[in-house]
Chains A and B, each alone.
Chain A
């Protein structure tokens, strides 16, 4: 019984938080004011001579992030090779 009451209280708290968040949500289709986006879209062709602005952001303006992704892939491959390499039985 006590457990059930605690569970109900937890559900109410979570639902209330979600309701508050929904009340505060950004309206759908309304473009937020973001000077960074406008800068990328206006200057990517001129500065980096790329048509694909997404690629310009991923590989140039935020290239350090992509370096991290490549390093994550490298680490994953290294760990898979370490896990599946041929070893003697029981080693």
Chain B
């Protein structure tokens, strides 16, 4: 695909930052507000589709790193399983960090309240792990499906242009 017009590219350059910040906000506030790892990861992965559509394949594929996304996906799943496995002395997926103090172990007041960010124990860690996994996985799917488009494959050889210009 060819890059879209300069208006689209400028707006995209501004708004990708907001998309990324919003997605990361959803991930790390997963234990306080609606959302969580899956939803926030999907929002961040939208960034990749946004860049591919507006900047075109040649530029985006030059700086996108599939190896990094593969590592993110694998590390996310491993951290998720590890956080579940560490509570194995009680049960699998026991929340051994909740209410113990420390970074993830603050207690919340009982009843309706606005929440404490560094609470929730392993739930917070699992949210971040799943978010990492979803970001990596969905970005990989978008990248590889884009690489699989025949139009883009033949464009370099035959001088064929995309549909948008």
Q: Do these two chains interact?
A: yes
A81→B31 contact, CB < 8 A: no
A80→B120 contact, CB < 8 A: no
B133→A60 contact, CB < 8 A: no
With a cutoff of 8 Å between Cβ atoms, the chain A residues found around residue B140 in the complex are 77, 80-81
Chain B residues bordering chain A, tally (CB within 8 A): 47
Smallest CB gap from B126: residue in A? A59
User: Main SS of chain A's interface residues?
Assistant: helix
Max chain B CB contacts within 10 Å: which of A45, A51, A80? A51
Chain A residues bordering chain B, tally (CB within 8 A): 31
Max chain B CB contacts within 10 Å: which of A49, A56, A60, A63? A49
B84→A55 contact, CB < 8 A: no
With a cutoff of 8 Å between Cβ atoms, the chain A residues found around residue B47 in the complex are none
Smallest CB gap from B140: residue in A? A77
**How distant is the Cα of A52 from the Cα of B134 in the complex, in angstroms?**
21
- Residues of chain B at the chain A interface (Cβ within 8 Å): 30-34, 36, 38, 73, 76-77, 80-81, 84, 92-93, 95, 98-99, 105-111, 113, 115-116, 119-123, 126-127, 130, 133-134, 136-138, 140-141, 144-145, 147-148
